[in-house]
Structure 1
Amino acid sequence: MAYWLFKSEAETWSWDDQVARGAAGQEWDGVRNYQARNNMRLMKPGDLGFFYHSQAEKAVVGVVEVIAEAHPDSTTEDARWECVDIRAVAPFPKPVTLEACKAEPRLADMVLVNNTRLSVQPVSAEEWRVVCEMGGYKG
């Protein structure tokens, strides 16, 4: 299993929106960055990800699961863009802020800490464990 982080502006697509989609999940559509798209091409069903509210909150607020491999993004006719489908698994008991991640020495190499603009990014198994610990998530 691999781990990931999915960033979204809460005003555009929030954790509550993701939860409302239920088991059917939702396409992680609209990504127009090659590195983020390439990360989605590596994902497999069963992989887990952090759901991260960017902009105002800047915090990991929940856990999602990849439920469909990369496929054409339905929001464009351009064949270059693909996306995966994800479903909400559980909220974080305590959101983990970007500030808290930057202050945690064990997360010094985390992509989120060093490239806050990338919308879909890998998370190492150790980073996953540390962030879950910080947020009180026992999953």
Structure 2
Amino acid sequence: MAYWLVKSEPSTWSWQNQLDKGIEHWDGVRNHQASNHMKAMRLGDQAFFYHSVNEKRIVGIVEVVKEYYPDPTDPAHRFGMVDFKALHTLPTPVTLAMIKADPRLSHLGLVRQSRLSVSSVDEASWGLIRGLGGL
């Protein structure tokens, strides 16, 4: 299993939207590096759900339930999407400030490439962040 982090503006698609929907596609990614991360996702992989913009915090965990397929919102047909299922709400949201304060997490894409909407998370960091979030 691999681990990821996906970012969403809560005014566009929030954790509550994901919970209400249960399973939903993750579309609109137009960055090649982020798209390549989505192409690498496999069934059962999990991702932190991060509220970007003014919240800047991890609020939940989703699971890949459908692997990469064409994104119909891309008129050029170059990008795709995956489907996620909501799994867990973090009892304690993990803020970007908390992540930046921990030197063990300084290598994460969330810190080093802050504008990247989909990034990988190594297993040790996954466990550490889950613990910070109360899971």
Which TM-score band applies after superposition, normalised by the shorter structure? over 0.9
Matches within 5 A, 1:1-139: 1-22=1-22, 25-137=23-135
Instruction: Structure 2 unaligned segments of length 5 or more: list them.
Output: none
Alpha-carbon distance in 1 for matches of 2:27, 2:72? 7
TM-score between both structures, scaled by the size of structure 2: 0.97
Runs of 4 or more consecutive aligned structure 1 residues displaced over 3 Å after TM superposition = none
Paired residues, number: 135
| Matched-pair identity in % | 50
Alpha-carbon distance in 2 for matches of 1:88, 1:78? 29
Please give the secondary structure, in 1, of the residue aligned with 2:86: strand
Instruction: Structure 1 unaligned segments of length 5 or more: list them.
Output: none
Alpha-carbon distance in 1 for matches of 2:103, 2:39? 30
TM-score between both structures, scaled by the size of structure 1: 0.95
